Amino acid sequence: MLSVRNLHAAVEGKAILNGINLEIGPGQVHAIMGPNGSGKSTLANVLAGRDHFEVTAGEVEFRGWDLLEMEPEIRAREGLFLAFQYPVEIPGVSNLHMLKAAVNAVRRHRGEEELNAMEFLKLIKQKAALVEMRQEFLYRSVNEGFSGGEKKRNEILQMAMFEPRLSVLDETDSGLDIDALKIVAQGVNSLRSSDRSILLVTHYQRLLDYIVPDFVHVLAHGKIIRSGDKDLALELERKGYSWVEDHAGAA
Amino acid sequence: MQGTEKDLTALVQREYKEGFTTDIEADTLPPGLDEEVIRTISGKKAEPDFLLEWRLMAYRRWLEMKEPDWAQLHYPKIDLQDISYYSAPKQKKLLDSLDEVDPKLLETYEKLGIPLEEQKMLAGVRVAVDAVFDSVSVATTFKKTLSEAGVIFCPLSEAVKDCPELVHKYLGSVVPAGDNYFAALNSAVFSEGSFVYIPPGVRCPMELSTYFRINAMNTGQFERTLIIADEDSHVSYLEGCTAPMRDENQLHAAVVELVALKGAEIKYSTVQNWYPGDENGRGGIYNFVTKRGACKGKRAKISWTQVETGSAITWKYPSVVLEGDDSIGEFYSVALTNNYQQADTGTKMVHIGKNARSTIISKGISAGHGQNSYRGLVKVLKGAEKARNYSQCDSLLMGSTCGAHTFPYVEVRNPTAVVEHEATTSRIGEDQLFYCRQRGLSEEEAVSMIVNGFCKEVFKELPMEFAVEAQKLLGISLEGSVG
Ligand SMILES: Nc1ncnc2c1ncn2[C@@H]1O[C@H](COP(=O)(O)OP(=O)(O)O)[C@@H](O)[C@H]1O
Ligand SMILES: [Mg+2]
């Protein structure tokens, strides 16, 4: 699904990712953990194609394509989804309107019939129920005046609408109370299947109690310094990030 | 971030599609303005004495006036002696039907998407069109249907001949000859425009529309529109405008007067797409327009909706004088300035009668080096019991080289008035565009979606066909070569 090889990236001349290697197979769930400022969001944004991050070396293959050559919207239409750490507000544009335009842009790209208003409404109501989002939120402007938790849930609603091949969730768990966390996890789990993959970026292992990953990686200073299975997250939780950093330094 | 800024700027470049010229023989007066020129214009139109006298009176007032300089606009002084005040496509005789109109003119309007052939119109939308090409009116379609309803819709010059008493009574009754510098100039030299009269109790059976086109070089367009809605009548009117691309600036100084008697309603919509100049700010129309409506009777209603995307300079404040009790004034505006365009636009709501209500919704969009100012006055006179006004002025910025300004003035002389004002400024950010692109929308689709979302309160006031038109126009204005 996704193959990241020796990826280096910089922002405003400052190196942030220093050689990331990551292989995500179909159906797998990977978690990336790491202290603040270690480069987790940078990795997520580089994958999505944000242009103020400059890729200075390395390559990324996504479903057989050279991902780094693709425009952000093409990546999205080919099934790469990013749930943003800080979802953006778009005043004046309703959630419903934006999603309909976007879903149909994706369908056009894939040579599928566009959904008409009725079909779309039926689909989105079904997905909104999945993340327990009240329908009034569909008619409100995109993320405007949403609480932190509501924004995150809106990201998962969008993810459910697109049914992406690879979902990158950037700290979707932070700022959520336990009930909201369960709802988000339930939404994500419902998408798990043998042909979809998920990359969870998180600061805490709490989320991993609900979405159990196949692999856990620890990111520090723009490098994956350790990989393991879900037990690594628990160990990390107990011993703190300094433990792996020290180890990485010693190794 | 430098790169992002450039991308945004590239995105808002556009081509002006209406910039062609028509090669047609014209009867044009040499540049310059004096009493003789005014007499000539009046003579060419075989006007009655009262009109010539009125023009001369306006001219004398104008000579004593100074060009206003209070607007947030910067432009070199306009040399009014360098302009020709009359230009008409040469036509041998008076026309009875469209068959006799010069095919080149018809072609021009065809290219602009203005259907003048009634045949075609009958198949589609019911809109009666009066097309003004430089200084004269070329064709008024649908005359018959309208006259059966008792509606008069014709070039002003024709109304002067056919119903001089109406013209005499109402011309200058809302915008007096000496109202302001540009209105006085217009009163002296106006060459054409549309005239509408809706009889009592009549709901005009179709949308009325005027289409203005400046073609000739170094001419000004000084049209004058007068709309009278008699008691309990209703009319919806649309005005559209374009001009060829020229390096010189062209002056457009129009006057529009609306009169709504007791219980009457006038809805006046403008989609202004005059040539805005090129991306370096060369050329473009100077648009100095006075538009005002008077709600003369009880329950009269006047609603202005404008979508201003063109012109190098826009100076325009469609206003409503609320004389009648329970009368209603509305102003809905979208003004877009891109490249080096400047707009200083807004409205005046003058409350005189009791229980009158006014609403102002203004949306300014600035991109490139565009400068967009909202200037509005809400005035409540002493006797205007229970006046209500709600104003909302929103600005949307794209990039960091443009500007938005708001100048809301409020003068209240009656303590029972309730006047509310809200204002916001937002920016289309790189983060918003990236968010949309991550969801699969192209950058153009994202910009257009955000801009249309910003304008929707105004667009919903436009008649359906024109709302679609306006949405497209805004799309074109902002989307570069796309679309
Ligand atoms: N747009 C930006 N401009 C400048 N520095 C940035 C930008 N984005 C991230 N950084 C820097 O890159 C480093 C990694 O940030 P980030 O990827 O957001 O970390 P994380 O998500 O792991 O907390 C930090 O030092 C941060 O300050
Ligand atoms: Mg982060």
> In this predicted model, what pLDDT tens digit does every residue of B155-209 receive, in sequence order?
888 899 999 999 999 999 999 999 999 999 999 999 878 899 999 999 998 888 7
3-state secondary structure of B390: strand
The predicted structure's pLDDT at residue B289? 92
A160 confidence band (pLDDT: 50, 70, 90): very high
Token pair for residue A125?
């109501």
Which among A205, A137, A130 has a CA at the least distance from the CA of A173? A205
Q: Which residue of A has its CA nearest to B428?
A: A90
Token pair for residue B174?
């809302």
Residues of A with CB under 8 A from a CB of B: 48-52, 71-73, 75-77, 81-82, 84, 87-88, 90-94, 97-99, 101-103, 105-106, 109, 141, 158, 162
Q: What is the mean pLDDT of residues B460-469?
A: 74
Q: Do the beta carbons of residue B324 and residue B297 sit within 8 Å? A: yes
Which among A141, B480, A166 has a CA at the least distance from the CA of A154? A141
Mutate which of B7, B425, B433, B435 to test chain A, going by most A C-beta atoms within 10 A? B435
Chain A residues touching residue B432 (CB < 8 angstroms): 88, 90
Residue B308 has pLDDT above 60, yes or no: yes
Report the gap between the CA of A206 and the closest CA in chain B (Å). 27
From A11, A219, A224, give the residue whose CB has the most ligand 1 atoms within 8 Å, as the site to mutate. A11
Q: A162 vs B431: CB contact, 8 Å cut-off?
A: no
Chain B residues touching residue A82 (CB < 8 angstroms): 438
The predicted structure's pLDDT at residue B9? 46
Residue B10 has pLDDT above 60, yes or no: no
Token pair for residue B458?
């105004």
Residue owning the nearest CA to atom 3 of ligand 1: A11
Report the gap between the CA of A250 and the closest CA in chain B (Å). 39
CATH of domain A2-250: 3.40.50.300
Chain A residues touching residue B449 (CB < 8 angstroms): 93, 97-98, 101
CA of A42 to the centre of ligand 1 (A): 6
Mutate which of B428, B432, B439, B447 to test chain A, going by most A C-beta atoms within 10 A? B439
Report which of residues A238 and A168 the model is more confident about: A168
Q: What are phi and psi of B207, to 5 degrees?
A: -65, 140
The predicted structure's pLDDT at residue B112? 56
Candidate from A51, A52, A158 with C-beta closest to B439 = A158
The predicted structure's pLDDT at residue B44? 86
Q: Which residue of B has its CA nearest to A106?
A: B440
β partners of residue B337 = B366
Q: What angle do CA A170, A175, A178 make, to 5 degrees?
A: 105
Amino acid B289 reads: V
Report which of residues B84 and A230 the model is more confident about: A230
CA of A36 to the centre of ligand 2 (A): 7
Ligand 1 pocket by C-beta < 6 Å: which residues?
A: A 11-12, 16, 34, 36-42, 52
The Cα–Cα gap between B83 and B373 comes to 28
The predicted structure's pLDDT at residue B481? 23
Q: What is the mean pLDDT of chain B?
A: 81
3-state secondary structure chain A: CEEEEEEEEEECCEEEEEEEEEEECCCCEEEEECCCCCCHHHHHHHHHCCCCCEEEEEEEEECCEEHHHCCHHHHHHCCEEEECCCCCCEEEEEHHHHHHHHHHHHHHHCCCCCCCHHHHHHHHHHHHHHCCCCCHHHHCEECCCCCHHHHHHHHHHHHHHHCCCEEEEECCCCCCCHHHHHHHHHHHHHHCCCCCEEEEEECCCHHHHCCCCCEEEEEECCEEEEEECHHHHHHHHHHCHHHHHHHHHHC
Chain B residues touching residue A50 (CB < 8 angstroms): 434
Going across the sheet that includes A65-66, the strands are A14-24, A2-11, A54-62, A65-66
3-state secondary structure of B239: strand
Residue owning the nearest CA to atom 4 of ligand 1: A11
Lowest mean pLDDT among A122-136, B123-137, B432-446: B123-137
Helix residue ranges per DSSP H, B309-361: none
Q: Which residue of A has its CA nearest to B435?
A: A88
Cβ neighbors of B229 (< 8 A, separation 6 or more) are: B198, B235, B258, B259, B260, B261, B264, B265, B266, B300
Residue A17 has pLDDT above 90, yes or no: yes
The predicted structure's pLDDT at residue B127? 53
The predicted structure's pLDDT at residue B87? 73
B6 confidence band (pLDDT: 50, 70, 90): very low
Interface predicted TM-score of the whole assembly (ipTM), two decimals: 0.95
The Cα–Cα gap between A9 and A54 comes to 5
Which among A166, A197, A201, A163 has a CA at the least distance from the CA of A43? A201
Q: What is the mean pLDDT of residues B329-344?
A: 88
**In percent, how much of chain B has pLDDT > 90?**
42
The Cβ of residue B44 has, within 10 Å, a number of other Cβ atoms equal to: 16
Q: Do the beta carbons of residue B333 and residue B347 sit within 8 Å? A: yes
Residue owning the nearest CA to atom 27 of ligand 1: A37
The pTM assigned to this predicted structure is 0.80
Report the gap between the CA of B423 and the closest CA in chain A (Å). 14
A220-245 pLDDT per residue, tens: 999 999 999 988 888 888 888 777 77
The Cβ of residue B369 has, within 10 Å, a number of other Cβ atoms equal to: 19
Helix residue ranges per DSSP H, B12-155: 35-44, 49-63, 103-111, 118-123, 143-148
Farthest-apart Cα atoms in chain A, separation: 60
Residue B365 has pLDDT above 70, yes or no: yes
CB crowding B282-295: b at 16 or more within 10 Å, else e: ebbbbbbbbbbbbb
The predicted structure's pLDDT at residue B238? 84
B103-139 pLDDT per residue, tens: 666 666 565 555 555 444 433 444 556 666 555 555 5
Helix (H) or strand (E) holding B240, with range, is strand B234-242
B3 confidence band (pLDDT: 50, 70, 90): very low
Residue B339 has pLDDT above 90, yes or no: no
Q: What is the mean pLDDT of residues A45-57?
A: 94
The Cβ of residue B280 has, within 10 Å, a number of other Cβ atoms equal to: 9
* CA B376 vs CA B71, B298, B330, B404, B438: distances in Å: 12, 24, 12, 14, 40
Token pair for residue B113?
């998407």
Token pair for residue B220?
């000004």
B203-243 pLDDT per residue, tens: 998 888 776 555 554 456 788 999 999 999 999 998 875 55
* CA B143 vs CA B33, B122, B132, B224: distances in Å: 35, 13, 16, 20
Q: How far is CA B303 from the centre of its chain?
A: 13
Chain B residues touching residue A75 (CB < 8 angstroms): 438
The Cα–Cα gap between A46 and A10 comes to 10
The Cα–Cα gap between B395 and B294 comes to 28
The predicted structure's pLDDT at residue A213? 94
The predicted structure's pLDDT at residue B115? 54
B380-423 pLDDT per residue, tens: 999 999 999 999 999 998 878 888 889 999 999 999 999 999 99
**Most confident stretch, A59-73, B179-193, B463-477:** A59-73
The predicted structure's pLDDT at residue B103? 65
Report the Cα–Cα distance between both ends of chain B, in Å, rounded.
27
Chain A residues touching residue B430 (CB < 8 angstroms): 52
Residue B454 has pLDDT above 60, yes or no: yes
CA of A36 to the centre of ligand 1 (A): 9
Amino acid B103 reads: P
The Cα–Cα gap between B442 and B448 comes to 10
CA of A147 to the centre of ligand 1 (A): 23
The Cα–Cα gap between B32 and B221 comes to 14
A114 confidence band (pLDDT: 50, 70, 90): very high
